[in-house]
Amino acid sequence: MSDHGFHVHGPHDHAIEHAAQHGDTDSFTGRIAVLTALLATIGALFSYQGGATQANAGLFKNNAAIKKTEASNQWNYYQSKSSKQNMAELAIALVPEDKKPQYQQEVDRYKKEKAEIKLAAEKLEADSNAWDKQSDEQLHLHHRWAQATTALQISIALAAIALLTRRKWLGYGVLGVAGLGVALGGLAMAHI
């Protein structure tokens, strides 16, 4: 607008004034904008779940390693008892008859101790395997959440292209890829 009351409208100014006076009637733009916001929100939730499952997988794998180490320690302890048992059995063959009962008691004690140690080691190995399995399940879910998030990100990019090019057929592509992302997220929620 000039100082003398003379005003020249450009095409853009006219479109803005028209939209302000009559409301924006471009439903395509509005739908794409709302859809993009919705997809971004769902994508953020999926991304959070993906991060949580990845962290769980790491924690569970760490627990498996700890249990595996404890089992290894038990097996080492078992081996030391076996060595002592072997020494006691050798002593039975070498010592005089009056000392053999003493060494036989040691052999019996080592056998009993080894049985208890073996049970503890096997339980720790089973615990380690259970933690490994849980870690693998969480990692699978992490991948599923990541796939869902990626599909939603692609659909958001397609939405931007649809908005810029004003190609309505791209809007259907947005819905298709978004549907795939939501379906993948549903599979992750169902632990599939």
Q: Which has more pLDDT, 4 or 45?
A: 45
**In this structure, what DSSP letter does residue 166 have?**
T
Nearest 5°: the CA angle 128, 81, 92 is 155
Helix axes 100-165, 27-94, angle to 10 degrees: 170
Sign of CA dihedral 32, 34, 24, 20: negative
Give residue-wise pLDDT tens across range 118-165: 999 999 999 999 999 999 999 999 999 999 999 999 999 999 999 888
Confidence label for 12 from pLDDT (cuts 50, 70 and 90): very low
User: Whole-angstrom Cα distance, residue 81 to residue 83?
Assistant: 5
Q: Which has more pLDDT, 84 or 19?
A: 84
**Which position has the token pair 């140690």?**
117
User: Whole-angstrom Cα distance, residue 34 to residue 13?
Assistant: 25
C-alpha 31 chain-centroid distance: 33
User: Whole-angstrom Cα distance, residue 161 to residue 154?
Assistant: 11
Question: pTM value?
Answer: 0.73
User: Whole-angstrom Cα distance, residue 175 to residue 177?
Assistant: 6
Mean pLDDT, rounded, for 72-85: 96
